[in-house]
Amino acid sequence: MMRKAVGSRASMHTREILAILVPIAILTARPDRSEAATFGPWMAAVATVGAKPGLVQLAPATRVGDKAPEGWSHLVIKSIPALESGDLDTLPDFATKTATMFHTTMLADVQPLALDKQYVLRRVGLGICIPSRDGKKEDIVVSTDRVQAMSLRLSTVEKMVLEAAEAELAESRIIAYTSTFALLRSPALLLVQGKHRKVDLYYAFCVDSATGKLEVGAWTMWPGDVSQPPPPFLVRVAPRTIYNCAVDVQAKKLLFGTVPYSWTFAMRMLPPGETLTIKSEKTLGEQIVTIARHPNQVETPDFEKRMRRVLFDAKPATAATASGRAPAKAARTSSRRSLSAR
């Protein structure tokens, strides 16, 4: 936890800097601690049928290019923030560089069992990266406790932003699983109908046990115990998605709206992918709603079977990248984007 700075202009300036930059560093995936999955240091798990996929922090110094690094089978998403709209002209000059410095990476590890070659999902990995400084077109995973050991030079502000982003990253959780399936929930801030709204992003990882093929579907729901209908569609995230995450900036202002004093940052677009309608999948829709509020009330194997049928067999409703929409309660009454991922 960061100490409160008091009593000096320097400390006030530091707080202003964090208010600007910390939300940007955590725009995409935020992992979370729960009984369903432990998010912690890198670990190598022994794959077994029925084993719980781990949710792990990527090992510092891991290099991530345009494919999965050694020890991982799939690069799922690498998100690179890009400030594109909103109150851009109110940000201090240094903010743009630092805001786009930290990237979020999501990996998956699918491996066969030793005896019968049945594939299982061993783990999902999340990490914060910065561009490699040796000229290679790669990102390198960083952590606050390894900055010095990695011979990285980060400014005080950059270190504080990284530390805060890591704390936020520890909020994601796997809320349902089998040995070939994991449902990851992560809080996020999205631009919907001109406003920044909190949503929960859901990523469903489905593995074909015979071939090892991985499909990832994503959608959004309202957080908390809110009554809501199912999303009308989910998005099959494109494999190895590396994309510029368009970010909207909104400033809060004092003195009759003339002096900005704090900022929020929200994703404008979601990861590229194919929109898959689930309107005809009534039972799956009901399960999506229930599992968001009460994960233990849904039979995970049945949920996985229905989700697999959509992700592996459904034809895309449109080739266009899904944009943000209100989660199901109807765009008329609320505003939140329906997430799309993979």
The answer to whether position 154 is within a domain reads: yes
- Per the domain annotation, does 132 fall within a domain? yes
Q: Is residue 9 situated within a structural domain?
A: no
- The verdict on residue 76 lying in a domain is yes
Alpha-carbon torsion angle 108, 102, 325, 297, nearest 10: 40
| pLDDT values of the chain reduced to their tens digit, one per residue, 342 residues | 333 333 444 444 444 444 445 455 445 444 433 333 444 444 444 455 567 899 999 999 999 999 999 999 999 999 988 889 998 988 887 777 777 888 889 999 999 987 778 999 999 999 999 888 887 889 999 988 888 788 888 877 787 778 877 877 788 999 999 999 999 999 888 888 899 999 999 999 999 999 999 999 999 998 988 889 999 889 999 989 998 888 998 888 887 777 887 888 888 877 889 999 888 899 999 999 999 999 999 999 999 999 999 999 877 765 444 455 556 443 333 333 333 333
Residue 112: predicted pLDDT: 92
Considering the domain boundaries, does residue 267 fall inside one? yes
Task: Render the burial of 192-230: b for 16+ CB within 10 Å, e for the rest.
Answer: beeebbebbbbbbbbbebeebebbbbbbbbbbeeeebeb
Residue 19 lies in a domain: no
Burial class (CB in 10 A: 0-12, 13-18, 19+), 185: buried
Total number of residues shown for the chain = 342
| CB burial of residue 131 (10 Å; 0-12, 13-18, 19+) | middle
Name the domain count of the chain. 1
The number of beta carbons lying within 10 Å of the beta carbon of residue 97 is 10
What pTM does this model have? 0.79
In a domain, 21, yes or no: no
Amino acid type, 4: K
Range of the domain at 121: 28-313
Residue 241, beta-bridge partner list:
77
Give the pLDDT confidence score for residue 21 in this predicted structure. 53
User: Is position 100 within any domain?
Assistant: yes
Please tell me the predicted confidence (pLDDT) of residue 147.
81
